[in-house]
Structure 1
Amino acid sequence: MTPYEQDADVVVVGAGPVGLFLAAELRGGGARTLVLERRTEPSGESRASVLHTRTMDIFADRGLLPRLGELPPVGPGHFGGLRLDLAEADPDHPLAGQWECLQHHLEAELERHALDLGAEIRRGHTVTGLRQTPDGVRLDVRGPDVEPYTVTAGYVAGCDGERSTVRELGGFELAGRAADKVMLRADVAGLDIDNRRLQRFPDGIATAYRRPDGTTRLMVHRFGVQPDGEPDFDQVSAAWADVTGEDIRHGRALWLNRFDNTSRQVTEYRRDRVLLAGDAAHLQMPVGGQAVNLGLQDAACLGRRLAGTATSGAPPESLGFYHAARHPVGARTLTNIQAQAQLLFGGDEVTAVREVLGEVLEFGAARRHLARMISGLDVPADPPPDPPPTDPRPAGRGPAGPPAGRHPSTTHRPGRPPVDRLTDKTALVTGSSRGIGRATAVRLAREGALVAVHYAANDEAADETVALIEKDGGRAFKVRAELGVPGDVHELFLGLERGLKERTGDTRLDILVNNAAVTSTGSAPEDLTPEEFDRCFAVNAKAPYFIVQRALGLMPHGGRIVNISTGVTRTAVPDQLAYAMTKGAVEQLTFQLARVIAPRGITINSVAPGITDNGGAIFDNADAVAAMSQFSAFNRVGEAGDVADVITFLTTDEARWITGAFIDATGGTLA
């Protein structure tokens, strides 16, 4: 299939604001563009209603503002319900602030713009299948009054929203958090109630805004049990009455909707010839209008360059810039929206935080920082220069190497082996301030991974691990969290995600090594106390379970999990009974979970060390070492590096066919 045999250079799936604007950008760049939209008519809804400064700048550059007409300023915005004037982002900017542009009006004008430029739009046409070939993409389409047919194109751009068909068919993976809070939203005619902006009541939060046409936009969140499914007006009225005490049942609902605090993002914005933009790439609470602005800016970043690639015959790898430019922006936006969601939906528990943040917002620099972030002015207007191609895998295949936008190093750094098997991977090793954990962190970094060095209390030891890695040319940062106590996993991942985002722009975690543990050595079974028993299980079994659970939300296709067990689950050592029991639980976690996560290409394995020199005082005793050596088939005590090399192998692509396994790394002790 040559470009001349294709139905289009680019097919855009979805005719919302993002898809229509992308279609116009593609046509402006000379690409033959076809838009497929499953709805037969525009919805007429206005889920989004606000444009921010960066988007206004983009529209002004494209000559679109006259099409949109006189857009009224909305006035001050907010951050989590705390007043924030977005005009402070750049007081000298003529378009600073936020401007009302209802979604149905924006869609109509963007559709006219795309059609004027020569885009073709087919409404009522649903994509049912997607196949990549070395030369392009084939889409199976079902349309009204026609037989199912196939469309061929050089590229496909999924702009089909939060339930994206293209994202599903293209094999993209979403990472992040599911929703636990819901807000109901409605446009209602015939109401005469006071305007209010995210007013807090004892039982919830309510917003009312009367538009010039007489309709009122309502939003209401009720603390406690959250509603399921799409709302009806009775539900909205009941929630409004419960929160505000006002009766709105006499109104007439023109539009009903619900949104929640889902926070998810695809791990890669491009898979070969398929790309995502807008809510197909990131799902977030539409607080303050950030969602539609983020999507429109995705389209602006992608459109002209995708047109150039599609019409020039350049390889898909030339689009690596797109993920590199937009994924960090999306991750940053989702973070600030999560923070706002906590401030908005929290009850009494967030009162103190709101008061302190309110004091911080009295400072101009703080207001300007947040206003620029929400307005999109804290990132460059244009993406960075195109990087060299980094993703030469054949079209249509799964991710055999680093995803688009993550650029592997090709230079050999001092102390680094010539083949960096984990380049651009991220890893968390728990308990890595010493012993096997430290050796593993060093090995993973030597293979190219960015390593989070977890520790419980010994700052100096953790600093030594990081220093060893950096001296060897690697990258690492430390994360402190005591395991086995309430809130342990949450504290661990707060530090982990912060460190990853600062260094990579997102919170993707490719590798998890559960190594941290405490032992019950020295306690005979009859002497073990309930407190010691509980402590052992809390650190060794409970913490790894919930660390894995939390990590899976951040882990992409092809991730790796290694749980550290022990040889004493296979040989009797009575004074380590509780310890052995906890490690048996870890082995069951590995065995039982393997099939659950295999569809995501994630492997999970247990590694069981034997007697291994962890730097303890007993290993300075020659007689003790000689006695312990007799247990190994090699007649020596294991070194931490012996086990670390086994762990490292299991984190590489070479170990992709090993999962659910118990790996004996005891040096033959169990033979």
Structure 2
Amino acid sequence: MAATPTESQVIVVGAGPVGLMLAGELRLGGARVLVVERLATPTTESRASTLHARTMEILDSRGLLDGLVPVPNDVMGHFGGIPLDLTLPSAHPGQWKVPQTRVEELLQDWATGLGAVVLRGHELRGITVGEDHVAADVLGPNGPVRMRARYVVGCDGEQSAVRRLGGIAFPGEDASRELIRADVAGLDIPPRRFQRLEHGLAISARRPDGVTRVMVHEFGRIAKPRSSEPEFNEVAEGWKRVTGEDISGGDPLWVNAFGNASRLAERYRDGRILLAGDAAHQQMPVGGQALNLGLQDAVNLGWKLAAQVAGRSPDRLLDSYHAERHAVGRRTLNNIRAQSLLLLGGGEVEGFRRVFGELVAGEGVRARLAGMISGLEVRHDVGPSGRFLLGGRVPHVELAGEEGTVTTTALLRPGHAVLIGLSGDPRHGARLRALAGAWHPRVGVTLAAPVHDGTALAGLDAVLVRPDGHVVWTGGAEEAELHVVLRRWFGEPEPAGTAGTTRDLAHGTSASESVLADRTALVTHASVGAGRAVALRLAGRGALVAVHHNGDQEAADDVVRAIERQGGRAFTLGGDLGGYKNVQRLFVDLETELTDRTGGPALDILVSGAGAVRAAAPGDATAEDFDRLVAAGAKEPYFVIQRALKSLADGGRVIRITPGAAEPGEPKAVAYAVAGGAAETLVRHYAAALAPRGITVNSVAGDAGRVATLAAFLASDDTAGITGAVLDAGGGPVPGLPAA
């Protein structure tokens, strides 16, 4: 059984739709994420069933809608049970009926496909906040586990353990009224849409699968504290008192109660602890807003938190999550409280309902209320309030660009910000590219023009859109203004000329030729020893290096700091490579990181380092010793190279580091011979198989300094004709190679 992972950059508590949406967003931003969930299996209860226009836009911006549609759509919604046309300018107006279970399934597939790790059957029991990390004590199937991350996010619902353990206040009002509801099979009753009868409110709707959802509230009935969900007979009896219909013969699939409690977390962020979804706000799920509100929290937070853990976040960016979403939560809870009064009030609210119905008939009121419910009206304070579109979400517009037709929504699918030049003037477009180029790949630049006249972008020269789809700048090519905005949201630009002025990091000497500039490299087991030396040397020659570690994050961070101090580029990746699935996960992380930094997942250089394995003399070795040696010497590099081929560029380089050679008289010679023999066979066979693609495969052994020199040489263009070689650099200088 594989060991439970315990290290990450972010721990998300709760694998419902909000937690999974956040996990996917974090992975798009390059952050490593663990999701821990108390339930051993996904719930089969679809408590929420409505997605609104803004949420549909967000799912579209991540390329997820194909996994949902076609689904029922209705432009008619309601406000407190009063019919309300939700039509507003959007590619997805109205409300869309999607069971929560389907949303959860979709988001789990997406997030895990991006490399998020979901651990079910793991319950959070404690949180300890350190100076630079958070420790989470989790009870899993195999006992207690302590996990460590930079941040913990609670997406664990109204009874949030993260909120409670973090000591975040949750002020508000307890429920005074409630609806009880059930999903029931085998019923044949008429549909009821917010039907107000003499004794109460009745709602019933039959789904395509034949299951009927019923909800009932008895006027004047005070909500009682509940320690568990109601029994079906309570639903049936209340339904009969209100409607006169007997539904007791139906087969209940799920029963619950929800009241008009209204609470808002005092803070969405408290240092290294954050909240999203129902962990941050409790509200009656009237109008289907609760799930949508939570998903929109996650999309606002994800890119900001990913930037924070990557060290590229500008000051106070993460604080903007609380500032923006707390305000949205407060406004949403206000409209839900108003709806609760209209919906659950008895005869005393009838006069107000009639007046309100007349007001809703006016276009201004209708559009304002529709904007509240759909989420389309959300506008953040990001700059001068009078500027058109600023702070709002970018409208869905079809554009004719350099590479054909594209939509503003599709431009957001990579998960980074985008600067869209709309003027059609090539000189203006070139100027925009020059102004924003230093922020690549955090900010992409697209030159395009609306396909149709009269769109919501008409008259604008350019718009800058955050990864969550909100516009933070509109204008022309004003250098000073645009640079201020880029710094505010996306941090400092890359230093000018960095790509051409790297240094030899192993020796601190100039490497102005930058023979590996624009190359990407992965070095496994790079936190110590020969792997560390190779990572330093490759970065010194200009490569962007992924520094892999097998649990020693601190040592890997030290390698990255050493590289960056000398002007190089590197990042860390963690993970045990002892199993096939672990190797797959590592490369998903790698490809995401490379795409974030270079615009694509291509890998140029793979250095399969030698992990630390205890070798023993023949008379002392156990079966476990031998298995570990074979796994490290043969199984691990085989699957690492196999998986690398998906992203390894033609003409790429594969270099295997093996332990130093041992003479037959040495006590551990047999163990080293097994590892060396496996490496030799592996290299020669892979070399022949990959020769048609121009990929060279070689092996090198020896002390760290010489291995680094030889590996850097084999990674260069000068060695295109060397492949299948097993080289020992431990016994002295290698002919034709520079001295270490």
Band the TM-score falls in, shorter-chain normalisation: 0.5 to 0.7
Q: Please say if 1:384 is aligned against 2:410.
A: no
Please point out which of 80, 98, 101 is paired with 1:101: 98
**Cα offset for 1:172?**
0.5
Question: For residue 304 of structure 2, what is the aligned residue in structure 1?
Answer: 305
In structure 2, the CA distance between the partners of 1:169 and 1:324, relative to structure 1 (3 Å rule), is same
Determine if contact 2:37/2:119 at 8 Å carries over to the other structure.
Answer: yes
Are 1:18 and 2:18 matched, yes or no? Answer: yes
Code of the aligned partner of 1:173 = A
Q: In 2, Cα distance between the equivalents of 1:307 and 1:85?
A: 38
Q: CA 1:313–1:378 in 2, change beyond 3 Å: closer, same or farther? A: closer
Query: Is 2:70 the counterpart of 1:59?
Result: no
The one of 195, 199, 210 equivalent to 2:195 is 199
The aligned counterpart of 1:292 is 291
Consecutive unaligned residues in structure 1, runs of 5 or more: 386-671
- 1:175 paired residue number: 171
Residue equivalent to 2:233: 234
Q: Which whole-Å CA distance do the structure 2 matches of 1:384 and 1:28 have between them?
A: 23
Counterpart of 1:110 in structure 2 is 107
Q: Distance in 2 between matches of 1:326 and 1:25?
A: 16
Q: How does 1:548-567 map to 2 (within 5 A)?
A: none
Q: What is the identity, as a one-letter code, of the residue corresponding to 2:382?
A: P
CA drift at 1:361: 1.2
Post-superposition offset of 1:227: 4.8
CA deviation string 1:553-610 (max 9, x = no partner)? xxxxxxxxxxxxxxxxxxxxxxxxxxxxxxxxxxxxxxxxxxxxxxxxxxxxxxxxxx
Higher relative contact order (CA 8 A, sep 6+): 1
Distance 1:192 1:75 in 2: 26
Q: More displaced, 258-267 or 228-237? A: 228-237
Distance 1:278 1:40, change over 3 A: same
Query: Structure 2 length as normaliser, TM-score?
Result: 0.50
Distance 1:273 1:125, change over 3 A: same
Residue 250 of structure 1 corresponds to which residue in structure 2?
Answer: 249
Residue 176 of structure 1 deviates from its aligned partner by 1.3
Q: Are 1:164 and 2:163 matched, yes or no?
A: no
What is aligned with 2:186? Answer: 190
User: Which residue of structure 2 lines up, in the alignment, with residue 268 of structure 1?
Assistant: 267
1:441-461 deviations in whole A, cap 9, x for unaligned? Answer: xxxxxxxxxxxxxxxxxxxxx
For residues 193-592 of structure 1, what are the structure 2 equivalents within 5 Å? 193-225=189-221, 226-229=223-226, 230-312=229-311, 317-380=316-379, 384=382
Offset, 1:224: 2.6
In the alignment, what sits opposite 1:449?
A: none
Q: Deviations over 1:340-397 (max 9, x none)?
A: 00001111110110010011111111111100111011113x7738xxxxxxxxxxxx
Change (3 A) 1:368 1:331: same
Contact 1:272 1:316 in 2 (8 A): no
Question: Deviation string for 1:8-65 (max 9, x for gaps)?
Answer: 1100000000000000000111000000000000111111001011111111111110
Q: Distance in 2 between matches of 1:6 and 1:308?
A: 22
* 1:42 matched residue in structure 2: 42
Q: Which has the higher Rg, Structure 1 or Structure 2?
A: 2
- Write out per-residue CA displacement over residues 118-138 of structure 1, whole angstroms, 9 at most, x where no aligned residue: 000000000100011110100
| SS of residue matched to 2:31 | coil
Show the counterpart of 1:130.
127
Q: Deviations over 1:379-420 (max 9, x none)?
A: 13x7738xxxxxxxxxxxxxxxxxxxxxxxxxxxxxxxxxxx
Q: CA 1:267–1:316 in 2, change beyond 3 Å: closer, same or farther? A: farther
Query: What residue is the counterpart of 1:575 in the other structure?
Result: none
Q: Which amino acid aligns with 2:102?
A: H
Instruction: Give the letter aligned to residue 119 of structure 1.
Output: A
* Secondary structure, aligned partner of 1:248: coil
SS of 1:84's equivalent in the other structure is: strand
What secondary structure does 2:310 align onto? helix
TM-score (norm 1): 0.55
SS at match of 1:156: strand
Establish whether residue 151 from structure 1 lines up as the match of residue 147 from structure 2: yes
Residue identity opposite 1:112 in structure 2: D
Q: Give 2:389's aligned residue.
A: none
Paired letter, 1:384: V
Distance 1:312 1:295, change over 3 A: same
**Cα distance in 2 for residues equivalent to 1:373 and 1:158:** 25
Deviations, residues 95-133 of structure 1 (Å, cap 9, x unaligned): 011101100011011000011000000000001000111
- Whether the aligned pair in 1 keeps the contact of 2:360 and 2:366 (CA below 8 Å) is yes
Q: For residue 94 of structure 1, report the CA deviation from its aligned partner.
A: 2.5
8 Å Cα contact 2:184/2:251 also seen in 1: yes
Greater displacement, 334-343 / 316-325: 316-325
Number of the residue aligned with 1:565: none
**Matched residue type, 1:359:** E
1:614-633 alignment runs, 5 A limit: none
Q: For the residues of structure 2 that align with 1:286 and 1:158, how far apart are their CA atoms?
A: 20
Would the aligned equivalents of 2:289 and 2:373 in 1 still touch at CA under 8 Å?
yes
8 Å contact from structure 1 (residues 52, 98) kept in 2: yes
Question: What is the Cα deviation at residue 149 of structure 1?
Answer: 1.3
Aligned-residue RMSD, C-alpha: 1.6
Cα gap change, 1:237/1:302 in structure 2, threshold over 3 Å: closer, same or farther?
same
CA deviation profile, 1:199-237 (whole Å, cap 9, x unmatched):
001111010001111010111011233355311110000
Name the SS for the 2:253 alignment partner.
strand
Task: Measure, in 2, the Cα distance between the counterparts of 1:228 and 1:142.
Answer: 29
Q: Deviations over 1:432-481 (max 9, x none)?
A: xxxxxxxxxxxxxxxxxxxxxxxxxxxxxxxxxxxxxxxxxxxxxxxxxx
Asked whether 1:141 is paired with 2:138, we answer yes
Query: Where in structure 2 are there 5+ consecutive unaligned residues?
Result: 384-740
Question: What is the rounded CA distance, in whole Å, between the counterparts of 1:199 and 1:364 in structure 2?
Answer: 25
Aligned partners of 1:273 and 1:316 also within 8 Å? no
Report the Cα distance in structure 2 between the residues aligned to 1:200 and 1:235, rounded to whole angstroms: 19
Aligned length: 376
